[in-house]
A and B are shown apart, each in its own frame.
Chain A
Amino acid sequence: MTSAISVKNLNKVYDSGFQALNNINLDIQRGEIIALLGPNGAGKTTLISVICGIVNPSSGQILVDGDDIQTEYRQTRSKIGLVPQELTTDAFETVWNTVNFSRGLFGKASNPVLIEQILKDLSLWDKKDNMIMTLSGGMKRRVLIAKALSHEPEILFLDEPTAGVDVELRKDMWIVINKLRQSGVTIILTTHYIEEAEEIADRIGVINKGEIVLVEGKDELMHKLGKKQVILQLRQDIPAIPEPLQHYDLSLSDDGSELTYTFDTEGEHLGITALMDDLSDNNIRFKDINTKKSSLEEIFVQLVRESE
């Protein structure tokens, strides 16, 4: 089966000489939700813009459903919906007109029933006759989403869809996205809210300085790169980690009241039992025990740091 999107050796150098994308290779499977994470200026938006046809690639090839985005642009673009990062709207148009305009622009005959459903799903129906300039930021974001969905795309790009958006809209949006996922739409998402990616994505791609650092299934990534920690609250403070315990990956808090043991979730021998025994042998007693698993955010920060 062909990938929904296949990016091969993609480079983008802007006229200023800035290399925004450096030999990107990426395959996005049909029906998956992939989150692209990366610091500001990493190249996420450029990558999306090239795939959508807004920015010309310098070299490389992109296939959408097996079709080249440059030679077969009609087929490829009609399958893609894009929600851009910036709130760029036609200020003086009504919601209804602008969403219908998008559908026409993407080559589809008008379908008022469908547009009504989209507007209702995004809680925009009662605003349909309002001029866009009168709407709040969150409402404008909904309009952009409605525009992107108006032509029933098979692939949806969401570039920072939840930036500056309130909790209610986020919830509405994830409901819509879940519905889309169930109908088989491929979703590519960039976000700074990593917990969002952690919750919703099947795979995570990390981009930094125009390069793909890694692309991995979310669960595998968490498993592979995630760390677990056991935090022990000591009954009595200790001045230093005793010599017999030095071979464990232990760290002691400044006041000597808390001992933290970090271990790999992938490791076969986690050594917790041995550690407990050794603690007891060295007369270290604890009053409380906590465990902590690293979040995707911590993994992300670590990956970006390593790629610097």
Chain B
Amino acid sequence: MNFYAVKAIYKFEMARTWRTLLQSIVSPIISTSLYFIVFGSAIGSRIEQVDGIPYGAFIVPGLLMLSLLTQSVANASFGIYFPKFTGTIYELLSAPVSMKEVVLGYVGAAASKSFILGVIILITANFFVPLQIAHPFVMVFFLILTCITFSLLGFIIGIWADNFEKLQLIPLLIITPLVFLGGSFYSADMLPPFWEKVTFFNPVLYLISGFRWSFYEISDVDIWVSIAMILVFLAITLFVVWRIFKTGYQLRK
């Protein structure tokens, strides 16, 4: 194992975060705060409680997931796409590193950023709404696994993309709709019966549901189903990354 390389990539990627503090940390905090102000305080004050939880507090887990998913994908995809775009990837390809180490460095850094972001958003939320976390360990478990899984997904997108448009395509067209329609702002049983059934085909629903359970012990699906789902996602992303490196897809000509 080339630990120095993992450390170098990790440090390099984290340095990018501090350099682009506004973009990577401040802007998600501002947008999340806006959600709290608009949905939590302004509109939320006129919405009745959901399963006994004030609406503003109800949406915290969903909002966190929204930020974690989009930021994990954005960070990790950009992290590996940018060297491809500028050509500095030559160094990575000519270095004595295995692809496992490359993934560990890039995905580790992207996941760390998301995790830090998640914690900051949680603290921010605390200023706007009364928070309670019923199962902190489960919450952290979901937080960490989501950061890792979606950073892996971002990494896959970054490798697959050969232009900036493709880089934005999946986050904009797939991930954002799935998160919005996955119960970030509502409980599945608030939907008409048909759409409630459709919603269960949305994988993100299981993440949000499980995550919300760790806060308030309310969920759309059983917590074990949610845990199983996040593990399945992780397994799928790991498998795809493994396949990519097995074939050298898109990196080595």
Nearest A residue to B12, CB-CB: A101
22 A–B pairs (Cβ distance < 8 Å), ordered by A:
A14-B253, A52-B90, A53-B252, A54-B90, A54-B94, A55-B253, A56-B252, A74-B96, A74-B98, A77-B95, A84-B90, A91-B86, A92-B16, A97-B12, A101-B12, A104-B7, A104-B11, A105-B8, A105-B92, A105-B95, A107-B2, A107-B96
B109 to chain A, nearest CB (A): 13
Q: State whether B91 touches A147 (Cβ < 8 A).
A: yes
Apart from A76-B96, A82-B91, A104-B5, 9 more pairs, CB < 8 Å:
A53-B94, A55-B252, A56-B248, A84-B87, A103-B4, A107-B5, A107-B96, A109-B4, A147-B91
Partner of A74, one of B2, B7, B91: B2
CB distance from A18 to the nearest CB of B (A): 11
- Bound Cα distance from A106 to B12, whole angstroms: 14
A97 touches B15 (CB 8 A): yes
Q: Are A15 and B96 in touch, CB under 8 angstroms?
A: no
Nearest-CB residue, chain B, relative to A81: B94
Closest-by-CB residue of A relative to B93 is A54
Q: State in angstroms the CA–CA spacing of A88 and B89 once bound together.
A: 9
Q: Which residues of A contact B97 (CB under 8 A)?
A: 105, 107
B246 at the interface (CB under 8 A from A): no
User: Which residue of B is nearest A15, CB measured?
Assistant: B253
Expressed in whole angstroms, the Cα–Cα distance for A14 and B98 within the complex equals: 24
Number of A-B pairs, beta carbon distance below 8 Å: 82
Which B residues lie within 8 Å of A86 (CB)? 87
Quick one: which of A52-109 are within 8 Å of B by CB? 52-56, 73-78, 80, 82, 84, 86, 88-93, 97, 100-109
Interface size grouping (class) on chain A: 35 or more
Bound-state Cα–Cα, A56 to B248, Å: 9
Which of A54, A88, A109 is within 8 Å of B252, CB to CB? A54
Contact partner, A88, options B8, B87, B95, B248, Cβ 8 Å: B87
On chain A, the residues within 8 Å of B8 by CB distance are: 100-101, 103-105
Which residues of B198-253 are within 8 A (CB) of A? Answer: 248, 252-253
A109 to B4, CA, bound (A): 7
A88, B94: Cβ atoms under 8 Å? Answer: no
Q: Does B69 contact A (CB under 8 A)?
A: no
Residues of A198-233 contacting chain B, CB below 8 A:
none
Sort chain B's interface into a size bin: 20 to 34
How far is it, in angstroms, between the C-alpha of A80 and the C-alpha of B96 when the chains are bound? 9
Q: Which residues of A contact B4 (CB under 8 A)?
A: 103-109
Within B4-20, the residues touching A (CB, 8 Å) are 4-5, 7-9, 11-12, 15-16, 19
Q: CB-CB < 8 A to B86: which residues of A?
A: 88-91
> Chain B, 72-107, contact with A by CB distance < 8 Å: what is the 0/1 string?
000000000000001110111111111000000000
Contact with B along A106-128 (1 / 0, CB 8 A): 11110000000000000000000
Look across to chain A and name the residue whose beta carbon is closest to the beta carbon of B252: A56
What residues make up the interface of A, taking CB atoms closer than 8 Å to B? 14-15, 52-56, 73-78, 80, 82, 84, 86, 88-93, 97, 100-109, 147
A-B pairs with the 9 shortest C-beta distances? A104-B8, A88-B87, A77-B96, A52-B94, A78-B96, A74-B96, A54-B93, A105-B95, A107-B2
With a cutoff of 8 Å between Cβ atoms, the chain B residues found around residue A93 in the complex are 12, 15
Which residues of A are found within 8 Å of B252, using beta-carbon distances? 53-56
Bound CA–CA A104/B16 (angstroms): 17
Complex formed: what's the CA distance from A80 to B91 in Å? 11
Q: Is the beta-carbon distance between B253 and A105 smaller than 8 angstroms?
A: no
Nearest CB in chain A: distance from B92 CB, A: 7
- How long is the Cα–Cα vector from A185 to B5 in the complex, in angstroms? 23
Cα separation A80 to B11 with both chains bound (whole Å) = 23
Residues of B within 8 A of A90 (CB): 86, 88
B171 to A: closest C-beta gap in Å: 22
Nearest residue, chain B, Cβ from A78:
B96
Contact B253 A106 (CB under 8 A): no
Instruction: Check A105–B19 contact: CB distance below 8 A.
Output: no
- How far is B253's CA from A73's CA once the two chains are assembled, in angstroms? 17
Alpha-carbon distance between A102 and B92 when the two chains are bound, in angstroms: 9
Bound CA–CA A56/B246 (angstroms)? 13
Q: Are A73 and B12 in contact (CB under 8 A)?
A: no
Most buried by B among A14, A53, A78, A108: A53
Q: Whole-angstrom distance between the alpha carbons of A108 and B95 in the complex?
A: 11
**Distance of A107 Cα from B95 Cα, bound (Å):** 8
A59 to B159, CA, bound (A): 25
Most buried by A among B19, B90, B97, B98: B90
Residues of A within 8 A of B2 (CB): 74, 107
Residues of chain A contacted by B94 (CB below 8 angstroms): 52-54, 77, 80, 82
